[in-house]
Amino acid sequence: MSNWNLNEVPSQSEKVAIVTGANSGIGYEVTLGLIKKGFEVVMACRDMQKAVEAKSKILLQYPKAKINIIMIDTSSLKEVKKFADQFQTQYKKLHLLINNAGIMMSPHRVTDDGFENQFATNYIGHFALTGLLLPILTSTSGSRIISLTSLSYKWSEIKFDDFHFKKGYSKTKAYGQSKRACLMFAFELQRRLSAAGYDTLSIAAHPGLSKTNLDRYYPALIRPLGSLFLQPAAKGALPILFALLDNDLKGGEFIGPDGFQQMRGYPTKVEADEYSNNKEIAKRLWTESEKMTSVFYLS
Ligand SMILES: NC(=O)c1ccc[n+]([C@@H]2O[C@H](COP(=O)([O-])OP(=O)(O)OC[C@H]3O[C@@H](n4cnc5c(N)ncnc54)[C@H](OP(=O)(O)O)[C@@H]3O)[C@@H](O)[C@H]2O)c1
């Protein structure tokens, strides 16, 4: 897998992918990569204008690309449900679900569902989306679900006594918790898919440190510094594309960049820490997530 890139993947037609947060950064580059390989991509975005602009940019490069935009706000359970309903009225198969949309270190906000915003946007919305789309995923041969996590998962454990930071908000810990949850979800999802006898794969992936709009909440003076040491978003998308397209991968694996401290580089298999591999904590997180979303699956 050294220096893996898209040229190693054969073209695939008649296959459908959903990318949440497809208009920017990693999601945009993953969309572009999948289009290049012949997939039809549903860009699941929250801002129609940004989505249309991104779609137009892709069509300039790939005029025959099959791209559909369906609106989603992953921070709202009502909107996630609306997306899932709309998708399933239009499509009868789903090969790839890329749970990518995210925000980082945002100011404190409580969503309409009463959740801390980073936890809701990055994790809870995707937990619900996956559950709502599970029937179509499991009935599509060779389907995969990729959960985007981050090196920052180490910034926090799961705060079972205060998921929503009611006792005091930390924007770094809230991001860390959300990304820890995405990672543990990917592992637990695979265990549950296997136990139920499904061949759908769940894989976790992270893009190292990549130049995207994720730093939008950083002070304006600091943002330009990113360009000096972050890898381009297209490079950061490679571990995600590898997780999506490499035929030798098994479910429950974790993919990241192969360079120094996993900050940049080409895709490789990486290890999660002991806490993230703890099956009891993952089970508890799953049960709590079902209660929070009222989406019950594989349980
Ligand atoms: N960049 C990195 O170095 C890095 C490192 C580790 C992990 N990641 C992960 O990579 C993923 C993509 O982030 P990125 O770096 O590509 O950042 P980005 O350029 O800011 O892209 C984030 C995408 O998510 C969308 N989004 C945010 N909130 C949403 C919501 N409530 N509903 C629907 N879509 C929403 C954004 O839409 P708008 O454009 O409308 O805001 C945008 O399309 C995230 O999960 C992030 O945690 C990134």
* 232-267 tens-digit pLDDT: 999 999 999 999 999 999 999 999 999 999 999 999
Which atom number of ligand 1 is nearest to the Cα of residue 29? 16
Q: What percent of the chain has pLDDT over 90?
A: 93
User: Which numeric CATH code is attached to 13-293?
Assistant: 3.40.50.720
Tokens of 66: 């099959």
User: Buried b / exposed e across 3-42, counting CB within 10 Å, b at 16+?
Assistant: ebeeeebeeeeebbbbbbbbbbbbbbbbbbbbbbbbbbbb
Cβ neighbour number for residue 283 with a 10 Å cutoff: 15
What confidence tens digit (pLDDT) does each residue in 270-292 have?
999 999 999 999 999 999 999 99
Q: Which of 41-50, 207-216, 272-281, 287-296 has the lowest mean pLDDT?
A: 207-216
- Residue in 28, 153, 175, 297 annotated catalytic: 175
Q: State the number of CA atoms in the 13 A half-sphere of 69 facing the CB.
A: 19
Enter the pTM of the model: 0.98
What pLDDT digit, counting tens, does each position of 59-101 carry? Answer: 999 999 999 999 999 999 999 999 999 999 999 999 999 999 9
- In this structure, the residues whose C-beta lies within 6 A of any atom of ligand 1 are 20-21, 23-27, 45-47, 50, 72-75, 100-104, 121-122, 148, 150, 206-207, 209-210, 212-214, 236
Model pLDDT, residue 1: 58
Q: What spacing in Å lies between the alpha carbon of 215 and ligand 1's midpoint?
A: 9
The enclosing H or E element of 45 equals strand 40-45
pLDDT of residue 222: 76
Residue with the two structure tokens 């309903």: 85
Please give the distance, rounded to the nearest whole angstrom, from the Cα atom of residue 101 to the centre of ligand 1. 4
For this structure, is 175 an active site residue?
yes
